[in-house]
């Protein structure tokens, strides 16, 4: 158990939530937060839409996501969370009592759950690190706002090619190379772009046949950047 605890402390120390706090002090801070550890199997819901909001989540193992589901069964990934990411912080600050969307484990996952009051309110121990955690939380929320704006930009694009082009061009800018590895597999990419996987695969194949891109599995290379950019105007 001690070995597992040490592993979680190491992960927490690398999270944006604990930025600026020495690893040796993480255990003290976690004690102030009165956290708990929860495990979820692949595809298990961590929280369902409409259920009471009870905590902020820090991903310790696996991959999780906020998902939007329609009555017809279609699902789109609104936001992905990997090890060290925080989920639910905006809900804590805006005072929502219920989850507006579902929170799901995409793989077998472990999360640390913290009651929002433990972060928002002043620490009973007068913890010197509490101000740091609050500042970190504000930065996390600001970054999520930027991510939301990015998601809206995708939704405004009318064509599959436009969405694919924007994503591939973003990856090119982030990696600083015309050749790069996609961080998402095809299923997760289709969910993120809110398009069906067969339609996405068909359009990727067409882009390759027209000599605009090349790819093998998850390695992509942009061949004709100007043609790719032209799809953003459709």
Q: pLDDT by residue (tens digit) across 180-227?
A: 999 888 988 988 888 889 999 999 999 999 999 999 999 999 999 999
- Structure-token pair, residue 89: 């912080």
Q: Give me 28's structure tokens.
A: 């003290």
Contact 187, 197 (CB under 8 A): yes
* Strand ranges (E), the chain: 36-40, 45-47, 56-61, 64-69, 75-81, 86-87, 102-105, 109-114, 179-181, 213-216, 219-222
pTM of the model: 0.70
pLDDT over 90, % of the chain: 48
Q: Which long-range contacts (CB under 8 A, 24 or more apart) does 77-80 make?
A: 77/188, 77/191, 77/192, 78/151, 79/144, 79/147, 79/151, 80/106, 80/184, 80/188, 80/192
Q: What is the pLDDT of residues 165-184, one digit of tens each?
A: 999 999 999 999 999 999 88
Contact assessment for residue 87 and residue 140, using Cβ atoms and an 8 Å cutoff? no
DSSP state letter for 122: P
For residue 1, the model assigns a pLDDT of 40
Of 16, 4, 226, the C-alpha closest to 132 is 16
User: Residue 2 pLDDT > 60, yes or no?
Assistant: no
User: What was the pLDDT predicted at 168?
Assistant: 96
| 69-87 pLDDT, tens digit each | 777 767 778 888 999 999 9
pLDDT band of residue 3 (cuts 50, 70, 90) is very low
pLDDT 10s digits, 25-60: 887 787 778 788 999 999 999 999 999 998 899 999
Q: How far is CA 171 from the centre of its chain?
A: 16
């Amino acid at each position: 158990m001690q070995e597992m605890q040490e592993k979680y402390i190491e992960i927490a120390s690398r999270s944006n939530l604990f930025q600026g706090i020495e690893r040796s002090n993480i255990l003290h801070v976690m004690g102030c937060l009165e956290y708990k550890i929860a495990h979820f199997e692949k595809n298990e819901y961590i929280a369902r839409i409409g259920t009471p909001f009870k905590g902020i989540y820090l991903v310790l193992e696996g991959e999780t996501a906020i998902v939007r589901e329609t009555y017809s069964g279609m699902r789109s990934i609104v936001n992905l969370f990997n090890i060290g990411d925080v989920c639910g912080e905006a809900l804590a600050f805006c005072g929502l009592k219920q989850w507006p969307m579902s929170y799901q484990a995409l793989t077998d996952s472990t999360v640390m759950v913290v009651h929002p009051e433990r972060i928002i309110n002043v620490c009973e121990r007068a913890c010197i690190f509490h101000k740091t955690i609050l500042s970190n939380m504000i930065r996390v929320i600001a970054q999520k706002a930027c991510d939301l704006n990015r998601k809206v930009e995708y939704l405004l694009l009318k064509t599959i090619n436009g969405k694919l082009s924007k994503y591939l061009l973003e990856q090119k800018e982030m990696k600083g190379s015309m050749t790069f590895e996609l961080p998402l597999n095809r299923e997760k990419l289709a969910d993120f772009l809110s398009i069906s996987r067969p339609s996405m695969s068909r359009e990727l194949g067409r882009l390759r046949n027209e000599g605009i891109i090349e790819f093998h599995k998850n390695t992509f290379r942009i061949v004709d950047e100007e043609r790719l950019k032209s799809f953003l105007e459709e």
